Amino acid sequence: MIFPWTHSQWHGLIQRAAEDRLPHALIFSGLEGLGKLKTATALAQYLFCESPINEQACNQCRACAQYNAGTHPDYNLIEPEEVGKQIKIDQIRALIDNFSLASHHNTHRIAIISPADAMNLSSANSLLKSLEEPPEKTLIILVTSRLSTLPATIKSRCQHIHFAPPGHDMAITWLNNQQFDSEHNISALLAMANGAPLKALSDLSSDLAELREQVFDKFCSIGLAEQSPLSLQNQQLKQGVTAPIQWIYSWVSDLIKMKVKQAQVIVNKDKLEQLQILAKKVELEGLFCYSDQLIDELRMHRAPLNSQMVMDELMLEWQRITSA
Ligand SMILES: [Zn+2]
């Protein structure tokens, strides 16, 4: 499936395939929820397809049938065996074995590794050999929303294709065309997902939207000196602090944009009014320091056990910056 915001990446890939200029290894990077994996799988099917039509796989030929049934012999989708777990070296070894066989249909042999950042060091090292001496007619696509965590040795051997969030209007139009209950505040969902439409769509079914409102109320009232920092409950943070910290980071980034007169490109358009008030309360320098602190915190991957403590510390710091 090709999304409206992935047209240029898709067209570029098809063009290169037509000219036989596809590299042996690609990295698809960008935020979660932009359709990177869907683009990778669509490309695999397209390359297998015996008679593509209008830059799309036909879905009718023998290769498409095998692909759709999950039995195409030249197709390898490598994912962690359980969500959130690592990709093991045995999985990469099995892939390398498959690559050493002759292609069954005289087309590409394709591997998609997703998320590529789930490979541990030994898996990555094992893959490296394939990237250094790629067998003929192979294509490895590494899909990641955490590009910075991939080893430099891997990154330097791949061509990079970046996926960016669509413009606000395109994203809202696309979301409005999906079938869901119209009670939802689409603009808020989109902001919560950092502009990534598919993430916004999957968040619809979670209770994250309500939590975001609670955290934002807290963020505002502390920023406006209306409330003491310590009152988000552990119960509210039972799913950990990653999402709340990402939201705060996104609000702080928007405040920075407002301070440097770039308010037209803010992500959290549903919070425009309150952010404008907050922007008057805080200095740019404090925002930059706080933003760095949030990034550090996101890198640490704290266990949910510490959630309340981490949040309390961040809110105290926010209070300090806004009352300076
Ligand atoms: Zn086909």
Helix/strand/coil for 132 = helix
The rounded Cα 145 to chain-centroid distance in angstroms is 4
Nearest to 241 by CA among 165, 163, 192, 306: 306
Question: Which segments of the chain are extended strands (E)?
Answer: 25-29, 75-78, 109-113, 138-144, 159-162
Task: Give CA–CA dist 181/289, Å, rounded.
Answer: 40
Nearest to 216 by CA among 206, 227, 200, 204: 227
pLDDT the model gives residue 301:
63
Question: Which segments of 126-182 are extended strands (E)?
Answer: 138-144, 159-162
Residues 6+ away with beta carbon under 8 Å from 257: 263, 265, 266
Give CA separation, 59 vs 13, 34, 53, 67, 302, in Å: 19, 23, 10, 9, 44
Task: Give CA–CA dist 171/220, Å, rounded.
Answer: 27
pLDDT the model gives residue 182:
60
The rounded Cα 33 to chain-centroid distance in angstroms is 5
How far is the centre of ligand 1, averaged over its atoms, from the C-alpha of 59 (Å)? 5
Nearest 5°: the CA angle 20, 23, 27 is: 135
- Asked if 1 and 115 touch (Cβ cutoff 8 Å), the reply is no
How far is the centre of ligand 1, averaged over its atoms, from the C-alpha of 181 (Å)? 35
How far is the centre of ligand 1, averaged over its atoms, from the C-alpha of 106 (Å)? 15
Tokens for 10, please give them: 């898709």
How far is the centre of ligand 1, averaged over its atoms, from the C-alpha of 30 (Å)? 29
How far is the centre of ligand 1, averaged over its atoms, from the C-alpha of 79 (Å)? 25
pLDDT the model gives residue 70:
93
Residues 6+ away with beta carbon under 8 Å from 52: 46, 58
pLDDT the model gives residue 324:
74
pLDDT, tens digit only, all 324 positions of the chain:
789 999 999 999 999 999 999 999 999 999 999 999 999 999 999 999 999 999 999 999 999 999 999 999 999 999 999 877 899 999 999 999 888 876 666 778 999 999 999 999 999 999 998 888 888 889 999 999 999 889 999 999 999 999 999 999 999 999 988 876 666 778 888 888 889 999 998 887 777 888 888 899 999 999 998 877 666 776 777 777 888 998 999 999 999 999 998 888 888 988 999 999 999 999 999 999 999 999 888 877 666 667 888 888 899 999 999 987
Give CA separation, 109 vs 15, 26, 131, 317, in Å: 19, 14, 14, 52
How far is the centre of ligand 1, averaged over its atoms, from the C-alpha of 20 (Å)? 19
Task: Give CA–CA dist 198/191, Å, rounded.
Answer: 12
pTM above 0.85, yes or no: no
pLDDT the model gives residue 104:
67
How far is the centre of ligand 1, averaged over its atoms, from the C-alpha of 53 (Å)? 8
Task: Give CA–CA dist 118/98, Å, rounded.
Answer: 21
How far is the centre of ligand 1, averaged over its atoms, from the C-alpha of 1 (Å)? 14
Residue 109 neighbours by CB distance under 10 Å: 26
Give CA separation, 38 vs 41, 58, 141, 254, 308, in Å: 5, 16, 12, 29, 36
How far is the centre of ligand 1, averaged over its atoms, from the C-alpha of 43 (Å)? 12
How far is the centre of ligand 1, averaged over its atoms, from the C-alpha of 137 (Å)? 19
